[in-house]
Amino acid sequence: MNARSVNAEYSQLLAPIDDFLHCATPKAWLDEARKPERLPVLLVDHANCEMKAAMSAHSLVRRYCLPREQRKLLPNLDFYKSLDALPEKGEVLGKQTQTADNRRVFDELAKNDLLVKMVRLIQEELHHFEQVLEIMESRHVPYSTLSASRYARGMLAHVRTFEPAAIVDRLIIGAYIEARSCERFARLAPFLDEELSRFYVSLLRSEARHYQDYLTLARDYAGACIADRIAFFGEQEAALIQSPDPLFRFHSGVPGSSAQGRR
C-alpha cells in the first residue's frame, strides 16, 4: 500500500483531523519511526496506548456517571472483553443481573451520553489492544514494561481543578490524543509492511469517531463555548509534538540525538 492510495482513500476522513490538530507529525519522527529497529517499541507502546485509552474512558464513567457509593456496580475492564457486540444501551453494564433497585440506577445511566460513548470506546480500544498483541506475538515481539512518554502527562498538567471545568479539559485532551493517534496511523501506514499498513488504516475510522465523540461531550458538559480551551490544548499538544523528546514513543515529540527506546 503506497502513500498515494492511502491519501486518496482517507483524505476526506483526515481533513477535519488535520484542521483540528495544530501541527502535523514532524518528518524527523516519521524518519525515526520507519527504522526497523524501532518497530518493537512502536508496537509495545501502541498496545499500552490502547489499554490506557480504555482505562481512561472507564475512569470517566466511574467518576462522572455514578455517585461514589454506587461506583462499585461498574464491572472491571475484563467484562467488556467478553461482549460479542458493541453496546447501544446501559445493558452493557450487566443490569440484567442486578437487583430491582440497581436496575433503576442503570436505567438512568442508559440515558447518559457519556456512558454510551465511553463504553463503546472501551470495547473498541480493548479490541485494538488484543489485535496489537496478536501482531506482536506473530512477530515474536515480547510484551514488556515500557515507560510512558511525557505526552499525556504534559497535557493533563493543565487540567483545571474544579467542575465542570475538569471534565471538559479531560475530554478535550482525549480528543487530541485520539486525533493524533489517527493522524499518525495515516502518516505511518505507507511506510510499513502490508500487514501493519492494512491494520493501521483499519484503525482510522474508529479513532476519527473517538475524537469527535470526545469533543461533542466536552461541549455538552461545558454548556458554553469552549473554543478558547480547545485552542489552548491544541497549542500545548503541538508544543509537545514539535519539541525535542528524550524518549521515542508513539506520541513522542521530535527525536533527539539522545532519544531512547526501551527503558
| Cβ atoms of 234 and 20 closer than 8 Å | yes
8 Å CB contact between 54 and 126: yes
pLDDT at 110: 57
CA dist., res. 103 & res. 96, Å (int): 7
pLDDT in tens, 137-182: 999 999 888 888 899 999 999 999 999 999 999 999 999 999 999 9
CA distance 129 to 122: 10
- Which residues, at least 6 apart from 9, have a Cβ–Cβ distance to it below 8 Å? 201
Q: Residue 94 is which amino acid?
A: G
- What pLDDT sits at residue 100? 54
pLDDT number for residue 173 = 97
Q: CA–CA separation, 18 vs 238, rounded Å?
A: 12
Task: Name the percent of the chain lying above pLDDT 70.
Answer: 75
Phi, psi of 29 (to 5 degrees): -70, -45
DSSP conformational letter for 246: E
pLDDT for 254: 96
Which residues does the chain have with pLDDT short of 70?
Answer: 1-10, 66-112, 257-263
Distance separating alpha carbons of residues 27 and 254, to the nearest angstrom:
9
Per-residue cell: 140: 515474536
